[in-house]
Amino acid sequence: MKRALAAIVVLAVLAFPLVFARPFPRHVMIMIFLYGALATAWNVLAGYCGQISLGHAVYFGIGAYTSTLLIREAALTPWLGMPAGAALAVLVSQVIGYPVFRLRGHYFAIATIGVGEIVQTLFINWDWAGGARGLFVPIKRPDSLLNLQFHESKAVYYYIALGLLALALGVTHWLERSRRGYVFRAIREDQDAAASVGVHVAREKHVAIAVSAALTALGGTFWAQYVLFIDPESVFPLSLSILISLVAVLGGVGSLWGPVLGAAILVPLSEGTRVLLGGTGKALDLVIYGALIMLIAVFQPSGVIGLARRFRRDRRQATGAAQASSA
Contacting residues toward another protein, per CB under 8 A: 177-179, 182-183, 185-186, 188-190, 192-201
Supply the minimum distance, in Å, between the C-beta of residue 187 and another protein.
Answer: 9
Supply the minimum distance, in Å, between the C-beta of residue 201 and another protein.
Answer: 7
Residue whose CB is less far from another protein, 196 or 323: 196
- What single-letter DSSP state applies at residue 229? E
Supply the minimum distance, in Å, between the C-beta of residue 96 and another protein.
Answer: 21
Contact of 268 with 30, CB cutoff 8 Å: no
Q: Which of 7, 3, 24, 25 is nearest to 16 (CA)?
A: 25
Supply the minimum distance, in Å, between the C-beta of residue 312 and another protein.
Answer: 18
Residue whose CB is less far from another protein, 153 or 178: 178
Contact of 97 with 206, CB cutoff 8 Å: yes
CB atoms inside a 10 Å sphere around CB 20:
16
Residue whose CB is less far from another protein, 189 or 233: 189
Residue whose CB is less far from another protein, 79 or 182: 182
Cα 314 from Cα 155, distance rounded (Å): 40
Supply the minimum distance, in Å, between the C-beta of residue 176 and another protein.
Answer: 11
Residue whose CB is less far from another protein, 183 or 213: 183
Supply the minimum distance, in Å, between the C-beta of residue 301 and another protein.
Answer: 12
Residue whose CB is less far from another protein, 187 or 209: 187
CA 99, 104, 107, 110 dihedral sign is positive
Supply the minimum distance, in Å, between the C-beta of residue 238 and another protein.
Answer: 29
Cα 93 from Cα 74, distance rounded (Å): 25
Amino acid at residue number 304: V
Residue whose CB is less far from another protein, 68 or 255: 255
Burial class (CB in 10 A: 0-12, 13-18, 19+), 268: middle
Convert 189-222 to b/e letters by CB count within 10 Å (16 or more is b): eebeebeeeebebeebbbbbbbbbbbbbbbbbbb
The backbone torsions φ and ψ at residue 57, rounded to the nearest 5 degrees and listed phi first, read -60, -25
Q: What is the DSSP string of 122-144?
A: HHHH-GGGTGGG-EEPPP-SS-B
Dihedral angle, C-alpha 3, 311, 182, 112, nearest 10 °: 110
What residues contact residue 210 under an 8 Å CB cut-off, 6+ apart?
Answer: 90, 93, 94
Q: Which of 104, 111, 93, 98 is nearest to 51 (CA)?
A: 104
Supply the minimum distance, in Å, between the C-beta of residue 8 and another protein.
Answer: 31
Residue whose CB is less far from another protein, 200 or 282: 200
